[in-house]
């Protein structure tokens, strides 16, 4: 739903992040993941970096380039459909990239080993599984989904093609140790790369509303029966909660005794808004 130009109103032009500090959003164990990845580089011909197409610039980890950049590097922007999961072009691209690069001590090796890197929850495992399905007609070898930022214990080697013989190395998601700004962190969080509770569902839902309005992406209005767009997160969440029955009874003390009133469950409504956005059901949104 887009509004005609005449219906435009004054949306917030800036978002107030309330002095938040991104440093607290970086889980310490990610440094270990990056170290493991560096140690495995000797066994690797090429890197595929997977990043979210909704944030082509924000939150790409510069440490990938700095620490792993001695190998050829292919950037896959995932979740275009969020996205076309067939990835037919990846293996020919990789084959060209590796055969036109110096393979150093791996020159004699007939098999290709490719390390798949990216921030948490960006779709690394999904990419590996879809390539495996496409080229080997085999099912899942890599676990999809789950909480962002939980380290995979080992870097698993998964076959994705017979000719050329190609293996992909699945890796733990690693965020940049210093995310460039609170806003970049917020975008990463909306895309599921940072655990929601570290950032806070309430402020994330508010930033999402701010973005949707700024981009005139008003499909939330009809979906939640709001009547008209709003820039006020509290009234939007109230409507979402009432529409989806996410309410709870609270006792209120009045002059004439206790009465039970129905109160919206704001955190549940905020979570619902985020979940719906991540499924692509609030429309296609470019956050950068
Ligand atoms: P990883 O942590 O980088 O390995 O990410 P996963 O492969 O586990 O994917 C994280 C979530 O994103 C899962 O819920 C996937 O179903 C979803 N996902 C991955 N790729 C795509 C995509 O291209 N489009 C959409 N809509 N969802 C995707």
**Atom number in ligand 1 closest to CA 50:** 3
* Ligand 1 mean position, distance from CA 211 (Å): 22
Residue with CA closest to ligand 1 atom 22:
79
C-beta 123 within 6 A of ligand 1 = yes
Residue with CA closest to ligand 1 atom 24:
79
C-beta 281 within 6 A of ligand 1 = no
Per-residue pLDDT of the chain (288 residues; tens, 9 = 90+): 555 544 556 788 889 988 888 887 877 777 788 888 888 888 899 999 999 988 888 888 888 888 877 788 888 888 876 544 455 678 888 888 888 888 777 778 889 999 999 999 998 988 888 888 887 877 676 666 655 555 455 678 889 888 889 999 889 898 888 888 999 999 999 999 999 999 999 999 999 999 999 989 999 999 999 989 999 999 999 999 999 999 988 888 888 888 888 899 999 999 999 999 999 999 888 898
Q: CA-to-CA distance for 239 and 152, rounded, in angstroms?
A: 39
pTM of the predicted model, to two decimals?
0.82
Which residues fall within 8 angstroms of residue 24, CB to CB, at 6 or more apart?
A: 198
Q: CA-to-CA distance for 56 and 59, rounded, in angstroms?
A: 8
**Atom number in ligand 1 closest to CA 145:** 8
Q: CA-to-CA distance for 186 and 236, rounded, in angstroms?
A: 19
């Amino acid at each position: 739903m887009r509004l005609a130009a005449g219906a435009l109103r004054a949306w917030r032009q800036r978002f107030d992040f309330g002095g938040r500090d991104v440093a607290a959003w970086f889980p310490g164990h990610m440094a270990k993941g990056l170290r493991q990845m560096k140690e495995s580089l000797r066994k690797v011909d090429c890197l595929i970096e997977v990043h979210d197409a909704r944030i082509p610039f924000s939150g790409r980890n510069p440490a990938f380039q700095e620490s792993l950049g001695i190998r050829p590097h292919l950037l896959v922007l995932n979740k275009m459909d969020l996205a076309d999961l067939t990835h037919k072009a990846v293996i020919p691209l990789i084959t060209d990239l590796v055969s036109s690069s110096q393979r150093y001590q791996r020159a004699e090796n007939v098999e290709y080993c490719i390390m798949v890197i990216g921030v948490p929850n960006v779709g690394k495992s999904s990419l590996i599984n879809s390539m495996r399905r496409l080229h080997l007609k085999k099912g899942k070898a890599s676990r999809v989904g789950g909480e962002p930022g939980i380290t995979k214990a080992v870097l698993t080697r998964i076959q994705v093609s017979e000719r050329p013989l190609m293996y992909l190395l699945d890796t733990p998601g690693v965020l940049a140790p210093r995310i460039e700004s609170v806003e970049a962190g917020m975008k990463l969080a909306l895309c599921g790369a940072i655990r929601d509770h570290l950032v806070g569902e309430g402020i994330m839902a508010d930033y999402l509303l701010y973005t949707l309005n700024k981009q005139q992406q008003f499909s939330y209005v009809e979906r939640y029966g709001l009547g008209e767009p709003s820039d006020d997160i509290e009234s939007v969440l109230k409507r979402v909660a009432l529409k989806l029955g996410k309410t709870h009874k609270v006792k209120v003390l009045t002059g004439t005794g206790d009465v039970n009133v129905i109160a919206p469950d704001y955190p549940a409504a905020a979570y619902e808004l985020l979940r719906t956005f991540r499924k692509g059901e609030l429309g296609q949104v470019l956050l950068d």
